[in-house]
Structure 1
């Protein structure tokens, strides 16, 4: 700022000098007038020297830094010398150019400070008074200023002239110094405020960009304006692409609150992501107002609640299953003891002599059903008290192939075709015995859902992605899909609960056991299904650093 001001003052001097030069040229063209040829030559020399000095200052300012203050002093001194030369060549006491000293004083006030302005006024007073005195006493005859002109005016006029000019010099220094200081203070305050505004803007941008939730603003017409980094990551749409787009184009779920969005403090809606997953989005909204208090739009803060909702459901399910499991395990132990006594007694009786054949058949039924109940209790205890998985690197293709070989002789798989799309070298850290049980239960469940036959497809891949919260995630994704009858939403919500089954002969422990095994591996299992469209079970197993 100071450097620019100095440049402008140099350019202003060039303009003033150009006017004097033009005047000198006009005088030469029309004759010397009241000035002699020697005076015009001297004025011309001063003007040319001033041009050269100004150009030199501009070059130094352009090529070097840190010399502004010395150059300012040099400029003020040169201005005083320039005015002094004009006065000497234009009659001394009779010269009309003594007022130009005021320009040097103003320059000192604006470029430096009030103190320097008074110094400049003092120097101008000394120089101007010295010129008049020297002329009066005949000391400037050598440059064409004789004493007769000054003596003709008289001492009273000379003292009056010197006094008036000195008063003018110091009044100019006082006023311009005061105004310049006020201007500098105002400029400093303005710069401070401008800096504060810039800092606030940077702080605001930093906060908005680094929020761990989505932030967007929409106009009263529903057009998007602010769209922060979280929103970009969450939607895959940049601020530039989102700007001025309709809110409902990017978030169709907001249509549930259309026309009343600014009055809704909290809300939840579903969003279909690009990968086909359904996300649950929660939001808060507050109205935005303009300068006059009018409605200017809505500020919306939103967050992906899918994981939170899933965790809530898992916790509820885990609590429910824990209570059921503990109670059922105790009951199973209590049932197993009398069941063993009944089974043993029936065997002893059936082995006795004199038992009618019809009674032997009844005893056989009792023993068979007792064995079935014992197997059911064994399965349930395995579910209620699962063992910790012994993880190791397992080739998933070979594991699925083993299960396919085991289920092929089963009558339920006579019209079922199993397609194994897992890559031959796909390996992941799992407990092979527990995952054999997982695939067995999933295959049996799929086959029973396809009474007229169909296809079961197994696929697996490793996914590396950036979650909606910006964190990287790596997991093994295993899918088991069938084209069976599918399930309704009520069945999907309860499918992993123990003893819940939609089949007449099912125990309701197969998928519950699958859930517990996946959970013990630190993973999760989800279901995508609808009536008449088949079912897809999706298993996610987290990637471990050692594999």
Structure 2
């Protein structure tokens, strides 16, 4: 500013004292003083603005430096948090190139520094994840496990897409010991279940065996007329039949035949089961309303489930003036449900939470395995069986099965 001011001052002096260089017009001293004053004021203002602009620029620069420092500290903290995780963590782009990796994941590689990992494909270091990477869109919502033959461990992992298509987060950990403990717990539960079943079977067999023994002792004692002997013989036959029925149910429950699902006409299969049921129980009105779509299930298993459910409903309807059983077909959120309703008194509160436990029954002559068998057969066919309170009283049995993906858009059909 000072240099500009001096330059303009010299030019003004030359203009005043040597006017011939600037034309014929002679500049008056008052004009020169006025111009010079205005020039001085302008220079002062320009100088002030330059200083103010410089101060603002320095302030802005300091703020940028401060923000960069905060960002750098946040980034360092982020890496520290990542490194504190016991699980391995990687962030990869859409092509599977590693952009971030924590210390735990780095330990599983043969490299010693992140710089040798960043920018390379994660499949190169973790080939066991490759099949899941190809199908990442379908598995991103669930936790998966994979056995690494190279490292002799079992990894539990999850692949999740980051927001705004920024890439994918791969989180994994060594669950070998956890898996081993889970297997041990399952074996212990299996042994406990076998012991419980054996105890229940022994308890159920005790009464028929006691009846058979007492009847045989009386027959062997002699000195009784033919009518009493015949009655004791019938008791023995009845108890033997009960034991046979109990053992058959137990074998079905303990070792059910492997399911062989096939497309079935649900209405036709239900009518097949109801044919003998209607002949034996003509007073019970049975309503059927199911769709024509094929039902993928094992035929024998479906018959066994329906027989058990109808038997339970029949027992609940004893004493009803107008007993009614309805069987309907429903669809809801990609699921197909076979619903069996009765107008009986509803679930017995004493067994409400134990209906599917083995040997739990309210029947005088029941084995207590019917519902347990039905649920087990349902699970073998990829379905689930449950008992609920009916909408109008009574019991509602619901057999739920996921529909094939190609038919999820089928229009919902509600029960009457």
TM (normalized to structure 1)? 0.43
Q: What's the counterpart of residue 177 of structure 1?
A: 50
CA drift at 1:436: 0.4
Higher relative contact order (CA 8 A, sep 6+): 2
Q: What's the counterpart of residue 447 of structure 1?
A: 314
Alpha-carbon separation, structure 2, partners of 1:444 and 1:497: 17
The gaps in structure 2 that reach 5 residues or longer are 75-184, 408-416
The SS at the match of 2:248 is: helix
Q: What's the counterpart of residue 98 of structure 1?
A: none
1:135 to 10, 13, 16: 16
TM (normalized to structure 2)? 0.55
1:323 to 189, 192, 196: 192
User: Is residue 2:326 matched to residue 1:457?
Assistant: yes
State the Cα RMSD in Å.
4.6
CA deviation string 1:223-272 (max 9, x = no partner): xxxxxxxxxxxxxxxxxxxxxxxxxxxxxxxxxxxxxxxxxxxxxxxxxx
CA deviation string 1:472-527 (max 9, x = no partner): xx222221111111125543211111221223333322112111112222322232
The SS at the match of 1:389 is: coil
The SS at the match of 1:512 is: helix
More helix by share: 1
Q: What's the counterpart of residue 269 of structure 2?
A: 399
Alpha-carbon separation, structure 2, partners of 1:529 and 1:322: 33
Aligned length: 282
CA drift at 1:181: 2.1
In terms of mean alpha carbon deviation, does 400-409 or 359-368 score higher?
A: 359-368
Check conservation: 1:486, 1:531, Cα contact below 8 A.
Answer: no
Change (3 A) 1:517 1:133: same
1:250-289 map, 5 Å: none
CA drift at 1:439: 0.8
1:419 to 263, 284, 287: 287
The SS at the match of 1:444 is: helix
Structure number, greater radius of gyration = 1
CA drift at 1:544: 3.8
Q: What's the counterpart of residue 96 of structure 2?
A: none
The gaps in structure 1 that reach 5 residues or longer are 1-117, 201-315, 465-473
User: Is residue 2:388 matched to residue 1:528?
Assistant: yes
1:12-411 map, 5 Å: 118=1, 122-123=3-4, 125-127=6-8, 129-139=10-20, 142=23, 144=25, 146-147=26-27, 149-150=28-29, 172-186=45-59, 323-329=192-198, 357=226, 358-410=228-280
Check conservation: 1:486, 1:532, Cα contact below 8 A.
Answer: no
Alpha-carbon separation, structure 2, partners of 1:355 and 1:396: 56
Alpha-carbon separation, structure 2, partners of 1:511 and 1:426: 26
In terms of mean alpha carbon deviation, does 434-443 or 186-195 score higher?
A: 186-195
Change (3 A) 1:380 1:319: farther
Alpha-carbon separation, structure 1, partners of 2:41 and 2:391: 101
Check conservation: 1:525, 1:540, Cα contact below 8 A.
Answer: yes
1:505-520 map, 5 Å: 505-520=365-380
